Copies of this chain bind each other. A is one copy, B any other.
Amino acid sequence: MELSEDELVAAIRAVVSSDSPGVIVGVGDDAAVVEPRAGSTVLTTDLLIEGVHFERGLISPRDLGAKAISVNVSDIAAMGASPRYALASLALPSEIDAAWVIELYGGIRRACDEYALSLVGGDLSRADRVLISVMVLGEVAHGRAVTREGARVGDAVVVTGALGAAAAGLALSAASAPVLSAALSAGWARELLDALARPVARVGEGTTLAQCGVTAMMDLSDGLAKDLSRLCLASGVGARVRLADLPITDAVREAAAVLELDPLTLATSGGEDYELLATIAPAEVEPARERLRERFGVTLTQIGDILEGGGLVAVDADGIESPLEPRGWDHFAG
């Protein structure tokens, strides 16, 4: 690192600074000062750690910076809220050069611009591995935040977009060079690698679904089976998932075939989809689907229903039911 901490802060400030409405004091003081608008304040934070959440050789610093913002914004979107301000802390090994760090902040800046949020602070430290800790503050009208607790028996279970793409991208990035090279020239690999490196938070979709009356909502970060089981636990209900209805793209099916994986496993246990999972009265599914399609060109798929009791049941294409185990990402699993 050829810059001192203060010099690095100054360089970062040049990359991220902007005159944003609502920002009274931005990066560089003891703390940032912002003006809240009317409504409730929504707060979330996520860590991204090298060797756990990403490999430095497999993602560009620009994509990594943008992803650190997107995964946090996704949590704000899942409450039906809008992101406004971010803090981004960074720990860096001494061998990292300043250009890499500036690129990373370029990615943070790009994502902040995309989501119309302002980076107002953070912290810097040395560490053995790269670590990014982001906090995002959002806003939502009083009483309108959508939690995981409101699912009712009989509600439809819906998801935005498609499932398993990031998991397929992760599996693909670990494949042998000839397999990866063939997949890239066949054309379907790029969208899977992009799903992993460049997730997009469903902000507009989240506020739209909240307006459409979803009863519970969360974002899919740890895999459908695990996340839906969390939603059900929070709501005190169970759920039935129709496997044949899971939205799975052709690219995921291609990757599954080439890598000898089950596309259903990618779709139910793969993490990092950053799609929205919600429950909604059956009569409201069609209007909500129509609205998402019109406004964002994004699909909304009913994948099951909420049941009494607890636990998840999967129904296969032949109508056979079996328990859907909440497998998925666990940082502390043996």
Chain A positions within 8 Å of B, measured between CB atoms, are: 1, 3-6, 8, 24-25, 28-36, 40-47, 49, 51-53, 75-76, 78-79, 81, 85, 87, 89, 91-92, 94, 120-129, 131, 133, 135, 137-138, 140, 142, 145, 147-149, 217-219, 230, 234, 330-333
A53 to B120 CA separation, bound complex (whole angstroms): 23
Q: Are A87 and B145 CB-contacts (below 8 A) given A30-B75, A120-B43, A123-B46?
A: no
Task: Beyond the given A33-B43, A52-B127, A91-B131, please list 8 additional residue pairs across the A-B interface where CB-CB is below 8 A.
Answer: A3-B332, A4-B330, A30-B217, A43-B121, A47-B91, A49-B125, A94-B332, A128-B129
Contact in complex: B4, A43 (CB < 8 Å): no
Contact in complex: A140, B332 (CB < 8 Å): no
A122 to B40 CA separation, bound complex (whole angstroms): 18
Contact in complex: A41, B36 (CB < 8 Å): yes
Contact in complex: B131, A128 (CB < 8 Å): no
A32 to B139 CA separation, bound complex (whole angstroms): 11
- CB<8 Å pairs between A and B, sample of 7: A24-B145, A34-B41, A36-B40, A43-B87, A94-B332, A124-B331, A126-B332
Of chain B, the residue at the smallest CB distance from A7 is B332
Q: Are A91 and B49 CB-contacts (below 8 A) given A31-B44, A128-B129, A131-B127?
A: yes
Contact in complex: B133, A89 (CB < 8 Å): yes
A91 to B75 CA separation, bound complex (whole angstroms): 19
Residues of B within 8 A of A331 (CB): 5, 124-126
Q: Are A44 and B32 CB-contacts (below 8 A) given A330-B5, A331-B125, A332-B1?
A: yes
A122 to B1 CA separation, bound complex (whole angstroms): 30
Contact in complex: B76, A31 (CB < 8 Å): yes
Of chain B, the residue at the smallest CB distance from A233 is B6
A127 to B53 CA separation, bound complex (whole angstroms): 10
Closest Cβ–Cβ distance, residue A292 to chain B (whole Å):
19
Closest Cβ–Cβ distance, residue A217 to chain B (whole Å):
8
Contact in complex: B332, A133 (CB < 8 Å): no
Closest Cβ–Cβ distance, residue A28 to chain B (whole Å):
7
Residues of B within 8 A of A333 (CB): 4-5
A147 to B4 CA separation, bound complex (whole angstroms): 23
Closest Cβ–Cβ distance, residue A126 to chain B (whole Å):
5
A4 to B84 CA separation, bound complex (whole angstroms): 33
Closest Cβ–Cβ distance, residue A110 to chain B (whole Å):
21
Residues of B within 8 A of A79 (CB): 25, 29-31, 33
Residues of B within 8 A of A42 (CB): 31-33
